[in-house]
């Protein structure tokens, strides 16, 4: 019941927000990451009925130079993850735990030449899902850009309970949904249970100065 209430408050808070934009030297991806815990706190306080406390946290975010658009993006991330049944993780929380995850980059093919999170595998997905010709969901051919599903399953592995982290560039959150979200939905559809999306994506990871590799994934020879 608490999760349902939090989910509802996400929409209320989102709808009541203004369109103030951020003005800060930090990238939007980094601001998204840095403000994420406070946005979670806002939602939790509202769920507990502490509207004054929630307002105080929101005001502190805005006074720190984070625009309302960044808050809205965080709410979109939280809402989509909740409704879709996966977890969100922050870059600094996993930087020393990369070996605990199967890490999949869903960035466009060839973009890994600009760098990847170490140990990443690569499988490109579309930015938004497509319907089949008959109007039904789960159009693999379009969503996976014609790459065989067997290759995706091979990257994910046989353990359906393995922790699998997906990331894209981080700039697509609401519309389009982002390729990481599409990949997660397919992994869930295929029976994988512990699925994670990186807040801020590769943009935040890189802008935070975290380790990057330029080694081409073995799966993606051009």
User: pLDDT per position in the chain (222 positions), as tens?
Assistant: 444 444 454 444 444 444 344 444 689 999 999 999 999 999 999 999 999 999 999 999 999 999 999 999 999 999 999 999 999 999 999 999 999 999 999 999 877 677 899 999 999 999 999 999 988 999 999 999 999 999 999 999 999 999 999 999 999 998 899 999 999 999 999 999 999 999 999 999 999 999 999 877 655 543
Q: How many residues does the chain have?
A: 222
pLDDT of residue 111: 76
**Closest to 179 measured CA to CA, from 100, 101, 99, 109:** 109
pLDDT of residue 59: 96
Between helix 28-47 and helix 51-63 the angle, nearest 10°, is 170
Q: 23-46: string of b/e by CB count within 10 Å (b at 16+)?
A: eeeebbbbbbbbbbebbbbbbbbb
132 prior amide bond cis, ω within 30: no
pLDDT of residue 25: 65
CATH class for the region spanning 88-220? alpha beta
- Domain map of the chain by residue range? 2-84, 88-220
Ramachandran assignment for 200, one of left (phi > 0), alpha (psi -120 to 50 degrees), beta (any other): left
């Amino acid at each position: 019941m608490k999760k349902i209430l939090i989910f509802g408050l996400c929409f209320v808070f989102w709808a009541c927000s203004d369109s103030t934009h951020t003005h800060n030297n930090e990238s939007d991806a980094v601001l998204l990451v840095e403000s994420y815990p406070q946005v979670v706190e806002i939602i939790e306080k509202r769920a507990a009925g502490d509207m004054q406390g929630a307002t105080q946290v929101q005001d502190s975010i805005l006074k720190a130079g984070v625009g309302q658009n960044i808050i809205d993006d965080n709410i979109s991330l939280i809402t989509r993850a909740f409704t879709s049944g996966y977890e969100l993780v922050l870059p600094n929380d996993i930087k020393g735990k990369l070996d605990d995850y199967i890490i999949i980059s869903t960035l466009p093919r060839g973009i890994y030449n600009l760098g990847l999170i170490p140990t990443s595998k690569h499988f490109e997905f579309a930015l938004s899902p497509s319907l089949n010709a008959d109007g039904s969901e789960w159009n693999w051919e379009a969503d996976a850009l014609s790459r065989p599903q067997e290759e995706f399953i091979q990257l994910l592995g046989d353990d359906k309970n393995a922790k699998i982290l997906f990331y894209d560039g981080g700039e697509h959150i609401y519309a389009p949904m982002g390729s990481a979200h599409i990949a997660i939905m397919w992994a869930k559809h295929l029976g994988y249970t512990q699925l994670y999306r990186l807040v801020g994506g590769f943009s935040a990871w890189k802008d935070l100065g975290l380790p990057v590799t330029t080694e081409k994934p073995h799966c993606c020879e051009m």
